[in-house]
Structures are given as C-alpha cells and as structure tokens.
C-alpha cells in the first residue's frame, strides 16, 4: 500500500470519527441559542413611548432603576415522562411541534439533562393550579423522570433527583412544601408521577409535605362534636357509673380536661376546605381527592377517603394553617 493510500484512509477515518461524534442535538441547541439571544435583546431594550392617544404619560427621560434582579422559581413540579426512553423524551422536547418542555430530564440511569436555564419558563405544567397560583409555568421548575408510569423508579434516578432538588432549594430558597407533583396541580387531568413515586422519602429529605408518624387524631364532625358536648354536659348518673352520689351540676373541670385531651379543635371538618388549604384545586372534588390519595396514600386511589385517609388529610391540613 502506498503512502498516498495510507493518507487517504487516515483522512477518511478522521472524517468518519468527526461525523460519529457530532452532537445529535446540534440543531436544537442552535435554535435554543437563537431564542435566548432574542430574549436577551428584548431585556436590553430601553422602553420607548408608544405613539397614539392611549400612550402613557411618560416623562422627559426614561429612568432605569438600579434595584432589580432576575425572577426566580418558587415551586418544583415533578413528572414522569410516560415514554419508553430518555432518548424519546429528549426528542419530544426538541421538536417545536410538540410545544412541551421541562428544565430537567433525569434518565433511568441517573443521568441528568439540564435542558433550560432555571430562570426561563418551560412548558411543562399546562392548565394547572396550586393554591391561588394559576400560571404554574411562570413560577416553577419542571423535572421529568424517564418512567413509563407503571414501573418503579430506579435508585440511580432518585439519587440524582435528590441532588438536583437540593441544589434548587439552596439556590432559590424554595419552601419545603412547594415540591409537588404534576397530578397535584392538575387533578383529573394528570396522574404523574405515579403511585410508585417515593414522596415520603423526598419529604424526609426536605422536599415536600408528609404527615406525622404514629396514631393521628380523628377529625371532628359536627355530629360527633355535638354528641360529645351533650354527653359531657349531662349530669353524671351515680347508678350507671357506680360512683358516689354527686350534685346535679356538670363537672366543668372534668369537661375542660377531657376537651383538652382532644387532639384538634371542636369544629366541623370539611374535606374540600382541607384540600383547598393544602393547595388542591377543589372545583372537581373527586379529582382532588384522587390526586391527594395518589400523593399521600398511594393505594386505592380511586376510592373515597377512608377514616385513616381522613386522619392523614386532617394532619396535613393543620400543618398548612
């Protein structure tokens, strides 16, 4: 083989290597940079008076304040992708036609793809509500976990998620209660992340609400409160109680002690109000209950709230007051 042939083969191998190493997302990255450049240009623009009869009564000069910074996220919303692979999700988020995105995608292997600057608005929440916030996308970070919705989340994936959450919480001072799921903000429309997601583990690390361990108080219903009051205020029957005779006056000190032992106020417990205080959109109450159970109960999510479920709801409700 001649030197010329060797040179040609070497060049061909080099070109092949360059082609093989080409970033498959180069076109999407170019589009990203172009959009960021356009937004940066808008931010640098000095406001100018708008001509016309309805223009503002601007002063002679535009005065730029010296006291400002970037807006920062206040919520983190966790999703599962409901797709078959990380590659499929990355493709979905780099096609303009899909109109959907997230700040982070975390693969089953724990690899983290940071797809959008945290200060920019991703399209991940859709029509959603949490408390009084109706534009979730404008105040949140969206994190997608590569998971089809019916499989457990891998340990590598959860470990990476916890690392990302720790960084976000520290960087933006996000309150612990503001780490929520897509199903929480869109009850009846979304179910992600699934009932297999380890919310309790996240809450233990400081990301999200969870109820207290051990026996929980039973919420008071109007009927039970009234019945207790009648029972306590009725003079004791010595014969019935096998107690020494007493006068006919109720034992007010004993009443106070018994009432004090009740863990919770003697007020009606309203499930809708409790869910609303936690943050759920309760206009469709069954959907809100299902979303609550998906997050905190994680079994029998389609059934009504049981007595045990009500105790958990009541405990979380009191935490949010």
Measured CA to CA, the distance from residue 72 to residue 83 in angstroms comes to 29
Between these two residues, 210 and 12, which has the higher pLDDT value?
210
Q: Residue 249: pLDDT above 60?
A: no
DSSP per position, 105-174: EE-TT--EEE-S-TTS--S-S-S--BTTB--GGGGEEEEEE---SSSPPPHHHHHHHHHHHHHHHHHHT-
Strands 140-145 and 75-80, sheet pairing: parallel
Between these two residues, 43 and 5, which has the higher pLDDT value?
43
Reading phi first (left if > 0) and then psi (alpha if -120 to 50, else beta), residue 194 is in beta
Mean model confidence pLDDT for the chain: 84
Q: Residue 5: pLDDT above 70?
A: no
Residues 6+ away with beta carbon under 8 Å from 88: 81
Q: Residue 305: pLDDT above 90?
A: yes
Q: pLDDT value at position 22?
A: 86
Q: What is the pLDDT of residues 41-58, one digit of tens each?
A: 988 887 766 655 566 667
Is the CA virtual torsion 58, 64, 67, 68 positive or negative? positive
Q: Residue 302: pLDDT above 80?
A: yes
Q: What is the pLDDT of residues 257-266, one digit of tens each?
A: 544 444 444 4
Q: Residue 215: pLDDT above 70?
A: yes
Name the percent of the chain lying above pLDDT 70.
Answer: 75
Q: pLDDT value at position 107?
A: 98
Largest CA distance in the chain: 122
Structure tokens at 35: 């959009």
Contact 76, 179 (CB under 8 A): yes
pLDDT average, residue stretch 271-296: 98
Q: How confident is the model at residue 240 (pLDDT cuts 50, 70, 90)?
A: very low
Q: pLDDT value at position 3?
A: 43
Between these two residues, 230 and 298, which has the higher pLDDT value?
298
Measured CA to CA, the distance from residue 169 to residue 263 in angstroms comes to 33
Q: How confident is the model at residue 218 (pLDDT cuts 50, 70, 90)?
A: confident
What phi and psi values does residue 131 have, to the nearest 5 degrees?
60, -130
Centroid of chain to Cα 278? 12
**Short-list 10, 28, 29, CA closest to 18:** 10
Q: Which segment of 43-47, 55-59, 286-290, 310-314 scores lowest on mean pLDDT?
A: 55-59
pTM: 0.79
Q: What is the DSSP letter of 226?
A: H
The CA dihedral of 185, 32, 160, 151, to the nearest 10 degrees, is 60
Q: Residue 113: pLDDT above 80?
A: yes
Contact 141, 103 (CB under 8 A): yes
Q: How many CB atoms lie within 10 A of CB 301?
A: 17
To which H or E segment does residue 320 belong?
helix 307-320
Q: What is the pLDDT of residues 147-192, one digit of tens each?
A: 999 999 999 999 999 999 999 999 999 999 999 999 999 999 999 9
Q: How many CB atoms lie within 10 A of CB 246?
A: 13
Q: Residue 90: pLDDT above 70?
A: yes
144 assigned to active site: yes
- Annotated catalytic residue, options 144, 151, 155, 239: 144
Angle subtended at Cα 278 by Cα 274 and Cα 280, rounded to the nearest 5 degrees: 90
Measured CA to CA, the distance from residue 80 to residue 181 in angstroms comes to 9
Q: pLDDT value at position 46?
A: 79
Q: Which segment of 16-30, 72-86, 149-163 scores lowest on mean pLDDT?
A: 16-30
Structure tokens at 262: 């009740």
Q: Residue 225: pLDDT above 60?
A: no
Q: pLDDT value at position 248?
A: 45
């Amino acid at each position: 083989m001649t030197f010329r042939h060797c040179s040609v083969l070497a060049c061909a191998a080099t070109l092949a290597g360059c082609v093989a190493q080409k970033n498959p997302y180069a076109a999407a990255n170019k589009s990203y940079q172009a959009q960021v450049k356009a937004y940066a240009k808008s931010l640098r623009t000095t406001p100018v008076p708008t001509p016309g009869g309805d223009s503002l009564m601007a002063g002679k000069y535009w005065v730029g304040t010296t006291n400002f910074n970037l807006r920062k996220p206040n919520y983190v919303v966790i999703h599962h992708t409901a797709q078959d692979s990380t590659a499929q999700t990355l493709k979905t988020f780099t096609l303009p036609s899909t109109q959907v995105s997230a700040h982070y995608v975390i693969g089953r292997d724990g690899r983290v793809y940071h797809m959008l600057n945290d200060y920019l608005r991703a399209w991940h929440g859709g029509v959603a509500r949490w408390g009084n916030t109706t534009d979730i996308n404008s105040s949140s970070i969206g994190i997608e976990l590569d998971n089809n919705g019916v499989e457990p989340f891998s340990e590598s994936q959860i470990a990476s998620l916890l690392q990302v959450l720790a960084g976000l919480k520290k960087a933006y001072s996000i309150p612990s209660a503001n780490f929520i799921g897509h199903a929480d903000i869109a009850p009846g429309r979304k179910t992600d992340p699934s009932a297999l997601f380890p919310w309790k583990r996240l809450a233990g690390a400081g990301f999200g609400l969870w109820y207290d361990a051990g026996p929980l108080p039973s919420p008071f219903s109007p009927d039970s409160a009234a019945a207790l009051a009648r029972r306590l205020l009725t003079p004791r029957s010595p014969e019935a109680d096998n107690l020494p005779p007493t006068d006919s006056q109720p034992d007010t000190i004993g009443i106070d002690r018994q009432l004090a032992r009740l863990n919770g106020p003697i007020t009606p417990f309203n499930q809708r109000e409790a869910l609303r205080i936690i943050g759920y959109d309760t206009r469709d109450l069954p959907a809100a209950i299902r979303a609550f159970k998906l997050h905190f109960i994680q079994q029998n999510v389609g059934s009504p709230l049981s007595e045990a479920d009500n105790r958990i709801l009541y405990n979380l409700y009191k935490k949010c007051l």
